[in-house]
């Protein structure tokens, strides 16, 4: 009971106005919450090491001591639960996991805070294009008007490469929409 009384007096003391001599009880500063989002950096072009592959079109890149989640621009790989989703992830991992890459993003981020950009390996391979060429990604025409990516996708379709060998491949954006409807 005595502890409660002391606590109540202490709280009341903290709420008091400063006295005439200017004494003000010291305010406690709150520690930063580790769950708060990290600082959003406007990254145009940067070079870092790929330290994680989330799926075929989303990587973790270590840059200046911080990881940045990078979403490949202009393409969309199958989701992990879709046919070829795991194959796309493995292909992307084989291309760049543990390697130094350059990300050209122009400062763009998506609604999830991911850097959206084109990824190039040290030996000049455009990872975005390679995924489309291997038939492991769609050219995401809603977000791209690249004639080059459109031509690469058409070539992969014509050769029945990767997911284009499937009789009825479902675009990831349609798959996600159907998944939301089923909930």
Q: Which of 79, 109, 130, 153 is catalytic?
A: 79
Q: Which of 68, 71, 130, 153 is catalytic?
A: 71
Catalytic (active site) residue 41: no
Q: Which of 68, 74, 109, 114 is catalytic?
A: 114
Query: Which residues are CB-neighbours of 18 under 8 A, at least 6 positions away?
Result: 24
Catalytic (active site) residue 35: no
Catalytic (active site) residue 79: yes
DSSP string, the chain: -HHHHHHHHHHHHHHSPP-TT---PPPPPPPPPTTSPPPPP--SEEEEEEEEEEETTEEEEEETTEEEEEEETTEEPPPTTSTTHHHHHHHHHHHHTTSEEEEE-TT-B-TTS-EEEEEEETT--BHHHHHHHTTSSEE-GGG---HHHHHHHHHHHHTT-GGGGSSS---HHHHHHHHHHH-
Question: Residue 86: exposed, middle, or buried by beta-carbon count in 10 A (0-12, 13-18, 19+)?
Answer: middle
Q: Catalytic amino acids?
A: 71, 79, 114
């Amino acid at each position: 009971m005595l502890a409660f009384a002391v606590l109540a007096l202490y709280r009341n003391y903290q709420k008091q106005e400063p006295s005439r001599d200017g004494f003000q009880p010291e305010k406690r500063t709150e520690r930063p919450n580790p769950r708060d989002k990290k600082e959003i950096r406007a990254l145009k072009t940067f070079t870092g090491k790929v330290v994680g592959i989330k799926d075929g079109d989303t990587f973790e890149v270590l840059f200046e001591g911080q990881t940045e989640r990078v979403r490949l621009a202009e393409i969309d790989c199958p989701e992990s639960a879709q046919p070829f989703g795991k194959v796309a992830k493995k292909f992307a991992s084989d291309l760049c996991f543990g390697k130094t890459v350059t990300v050209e993003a122009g400062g763009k981020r998506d609604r999830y805070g991911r850097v959206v950009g084109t990824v190039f390996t040290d030996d000049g391979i455009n990872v975005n294009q390679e995924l489309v060429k291997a038939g492991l990604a769609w050219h995401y025409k809603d977000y791209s008007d690249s004639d080059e990516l459109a031509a690469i996708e058409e070539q992969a379709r014509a050769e029945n490469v990767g997911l284009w060998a499937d009789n009825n491949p479902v675009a990831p954006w349609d798959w996600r929409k159907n998944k939301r409807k089923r909930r």
